[in-house]
Amino acid sequence: MIAIENVHKQFGALHVLKGVDLSVKKGEVLSMIGGSGSGKSTMLMCINGLEGILQGRITVDGVEVHAKATDLNKLRRRIGIVFQQWNAFPHLTVLENVTLAPRKVLGKSKEEAEAIAIEQLSHVGLKEKIGVFPSRLSGGQQQRMAIARALAMSPDYMLFDEVTSALDPQLVGEVLDTMRMLSKEGMTMIVVTHEMRFAREVSDRVAFFREGRIHEIGTPEQIFESPEKPETAAFLKSST
Amino acid sequence: MDYQFQWRPVLRSLPEMLWGALQTIEIAGLAMLLGTILAIFLALAKRSGKTYLSLPADMWIETARNTPALFQIYMLFFGLGSLGLQVGSYAALLLGITFNNAGYLAETFRGGFAAVPETQTRAARSLGMGAVQTQWHIVIPQMLRAVFHAMTNQMVWSVLMSSLGVIVGLTTDLTGVTQELNVVTYRTFEYFFVAACLYYLISKAFTLSARVVAWRLFRY
Amino acid sequence: MYFGGSFSWGDFLFLLSGAVTTLSITLLAVVIGTVLGVLFGLVRASAPGWIGNSLGAVLDVFRSVPLLIQLVLFNSFNSMLKLNWPTFTVGCICLGIYASAFCTEIVRSGVDAVPQTTRRAARSLGLSWRQELTSITLPIATRVVFPSWIGLTLGVMKDTALVLWIGIVELLRSSQIVTSRVQEPLLILGITGLIYFVMSFPIARLGNQLEKKWGTQ
């Protein structure tokens, strides 16, 4: 379980998170929606310690993320993250991209790591591409590779940060399909997204962020069909 | 033109000149190696944001880039000599080119580090890789590609600069050997023409082998 | 050992006159190098492949052989052909040709930086090849390569130090002459270095700033 309690964060004078409380259970799919600058992406970066926090507490299965004694590298093995800019390692082949972390971080042998990588790459439909360099892939393929790269560490949680925002419209579908598949397999996921239809379809719960807080949270039906707050309704209206 | 070319004595001294060429390669290579190591420290010192580190690094870099290489060699040869530190012509040349290489390469490396996006580090750290692993497997390989071309050029510069040793009295590198032969025979054109050919071959050998290495290394 | 006197005002003026020689050679060499460089560069950029490539290969020789050797060869040419040019002229011409080899590549990269579509658009408006070159390509290319051209000029200035080997008294040689009298090499070299620095650094900074400013557009 991921538990977030009263988290605050500041970038200089900018107060981006102003007390966020949230918990995500095993097997749950939570979507975070909201305007740009509402703090949802920053929240995601805090969960695996890529960003520090000013105040509050985030625990992942009881381990406090921002405690001094926490070994972040160890914690991050269990939390996969996929970024908006897919961040493929350009100097490594698709296979090497996926095997690097299992080998260097988990200490797996080359054969073991390659077996895992091939399994994950087949899973996201990239089995034919294992020998090529990322520059030869489309954006959608690179993003699916990034998902396979994160999955190869067999994480307990997957975080997705606007993974389709930088893609050409015709490539969005293949990435969403991959995520849909993961959610069906029972992966615990936190998804920051602008794809409202997708959020509605796959999420167990949807959180609407506004001005550094969770303004409203509930089931997709609740949020999309009968939002309690007028700002939620206004946001949904503007983004469809 | 009533000048009579005489190539035979030059051909006879070719082995000597080839030995000189070997010394040229040795000096240029050593100066490049030492210069690269120093340049990494200079680039890190400049990035550190601490004045007591970045100021001396800045002075080094700007002196190397804004004064002639020959001046830098003179400083080591004549300047240090007046402080009682007797530096031979070989050492003055080697250290002078090293100083120059380090200054130029430091700027190259600074640009190289900047050429690897911060997001690459993020992606690597998010997979649980440590800081050192991230530098070693992700940042440095990509930086190397960004600076490789500039490093090849600097290597050629290193070869060309090594010819300056003769001005502080070095007699064992290619130019030095050539000058020694010239002083005895006065066949200036012939000797220096052959020396020019050898320098051209050395420069091209470095450029071409760098291209092969780059082709092998940077397939992406 | 004490040969005669300490560093005097006269010595300083002597160094400055050396600096003037350095600047004169730089100026003449850069003018020669730029004129030839633009000419060769346009040939490199627009002539049929094999002409451009052979010109490139020839000029590459000047960039792959030490300038010192080129100076010696030029100087011995001068006496072999009984031209009896003063060494100053030899130095300027040799440095000028050397500079042109670098300038050619700078010009070529500038012309290459102008998008083909821009050039086509100009031609489709009815501009002739020459009109297009002078009113579209060259203005754009000049802006692109100006910082590298400044770099080349400063490079030539630093390389002028080598002409002392064929007997021209420029700044660095002047400093040695003064040293032979005053016997304080570190002080005099320090002052000499400072003069070089003052001549180079501000212009180098300007070049960097222009590069940053124009590079982002």
Does the CB of C84 have a partner CB in chain B at under 8 Å? no
For the segment B67-85, the average pLDDT, to the nearest whole number, is 90
Q: Locate the chain B residue with the closest alpha carbon to C67.
A: B160
Q: Is the pLDDT of residue A213 over 70?
A: yes
3-state secondary structure of B180: helix
Query: How many CA atoms are closer than 13 Å to the CA of C47, on its beta-carbon side?
Result: 13
Mean pLDDT over the full length of chain B: 93
Choose the closest CB to B200 out of C61, C76, C190: C61
Question: pLDDT-derived band of residue A240, with 50, 70 and 90 as boundaries?
Answer: low
B118, B122, B127: which to substitute to probe chain A, counting the most A Cβ within 10 Å? B127
Chain B residue at shortest CA distance from C192: B71
Q: DSSP assignment, residue B76? A: I
Rounded to the nearest angstrom, the minimum Cα separation between B44 and chain A is 23
- Eight-class DSSP state of C48: -
Residues of A in contact with B138 (CB under 8 A): 89
Q: Which percentage of chain C shows pLDDT scores above 90?
A: 60
pLDDT digits (tens, 9 = 90+) for A167-181: 888 889 999 999 999
Helix (H) / strand (E) containing A109: none
State the average pLDDT over residues B86-101.
95
Range in A137-151, C24-38, C128-142 with the lowest mean pLDDT:
C128-142
**Is the confidence at residue B1, as pLDDT, over 80?**
no
On the question of pLDDT at C107 being above 90, the answer is yes
Q: Residue A76, SS3? A: helix
Name every chain B residue with its beta carbon within 8 A of the beta carbon of A134: 220
Mean pLDDT for A64-80 is 92
Closest chain B C-alpha to A232 CA, distance in angstroms: 32
Residues in Cβ contact with A65 at an 8 Å cutoff, skipping those fewer than 6 apart: A46, A47, A48, A49, A58, A59, A72, A75
Cα A181 vs. chain centroid, distance in angstroms?
Answer: 15
Looking up tokens 């007591």 gives B52
> What is the arithmetic mean of pLDDT over A84-95?
92
Average pLDDT in chain C: 90
Tell me the C-alpha distance between A24 and A213, whole Å.
Answer: 16
Helical (H) or strand (E) element with A157? strand A157-161
Check whether B211 has a pLDDT greater than 80.
yes
C45 vs C35: CA distance, rounded Å: 15
* Preferred mutation among A45, A87, A97, A100 to probe B, highest tally of B CBs within 10 A: A87
- DSSP conformational letter for B24: H
pLDDT of residue B85: 83
Helices B89-115, B51-66: inter-axial angle, 10-degree rounding: 120
Report yes or no: C169 and C20 within 8 Å, Cβ to Cβ: no
Q: Rounded to a whole number, what is the distance in Å from the CA of B101 to chain A's nearest CA?
A: 27
Q: Which of B112, B104, B85 is nearest to B160 (CA)?
A: B104
**Rounded-to-integer distance, Cα A238 and Cα A217, Å:** 18
Residue C207 has a pLDDT of: 87
Q: Please report the pLDDT score of residue A20 as a whole number.
A: 94
The B-side interface with C (CB below 8 A) comprises: 1, 3, 62-63, 65-71, 74-75, 78-79, 81-83, 156, 159-161, 163-164, 166-167, 175, 188-189, 192-193, 195-196, 199-200, 203-204, 207
How far apart CA A189 and CA A201 sit, in angstroms, is 14
* Residues pairing with A7 in the sheet: A20
- Distance, in Å, from the CA atom of A35 to the CA atom of A237, rounded to the nearest integer, reads 12
Residue B149 has pLDDT above 50, yes or no: yes
* Band of pLDDT at residue C173, cut at 50, 70 and 90: very high
- How does residue C171 score in pLDDT terms, banded at 50, 70 and 90? very high
B135 touches chain A (CB under 8 A): no
B87-91, long-range: CB < 8 A, 24+ apart: B89/B165, B89/B168, B89/B169, B89/B170, B90/B27, B90/B165, B90/B170, B90/B172
Answer yes or no: is pLDDT of A154 > 70: yes
Which residues, 6+ apart, have CB-to-CB distance to B178 below 8 Å?
Answer: B17, B20, B191, B192, B194, B195
Integer Cα distance of B205 and B211 in angstroms: 10
Across residues B43-58, what is the average pLDDT? 91
Which helix (H) or strand (E) segment holds residue A3: the answer is: strand A2-11
Q: Environment class of residue B165 by beta-carbon count within 10 Å: exposed (0-12), middle (13-18) or buried (19+)?
A: buried
Judged against a pLDDT cut of 70, whether residue C2 lies above it is answered with no
Do C and A count as touching (3 or more CB pairs closer than 8 A)? no
pLDDT at A119 over 50: yes
pTM exceeding the 0.90 threshold for the entire prediction: no
Q: B51-66 and C185-215 helices cross at what angle (nearest 10)?
A: 100
Reported as a pLDDT band with limits 50, 70 and 90, residue A230 is very high
* Predicted confidence (pLDDT) at residue C5 exceeds the cutoff of 80: no
Mean pLDDT, rounded, of chain A: 93
C vs B contact (3+ beta-carbon pairs below 8 A): yes
- Contact yes or no for B167 and C66 at CB 8 A: no
**Mean per-residue pLDDT, B46-54:** 89
pLDDT higher than 60, residue C4: no
Nearest CA in chain C to B204: C64
Q: What is the pLDDT of residue B83?
A: 83
Q: Do C65 and B160 touch (CB under 8 A)?
A: yes
The percentage of chain A sitting over the pLDDT mark of 70, rounded to a whole number, equals 100
pLDDT digits (tens, 9 = 90+) for C13-32: 999 999 999 999 999 999 99
- In three-state secondary structure terms, A216 is strand
- Chain B neighbors of C76, CB-CB under 8 A: 188-189, 192
* pLDDT category of residue B180 using cuts at 50, 70 and 90: very high
Q: Does the pLDDT value for residue B209 go beyond 80?
A: yes
* Mean pLDDT along residues A183-201: 93
Residues 6+ apart with CB under 8 A from A104: B129, B133, B137
Q: Quick one: pLDDT band at residue C208, thresholds 50, 70, 90? A: confident
Secondary structure class of C134 (helix, strand, coil):
helix
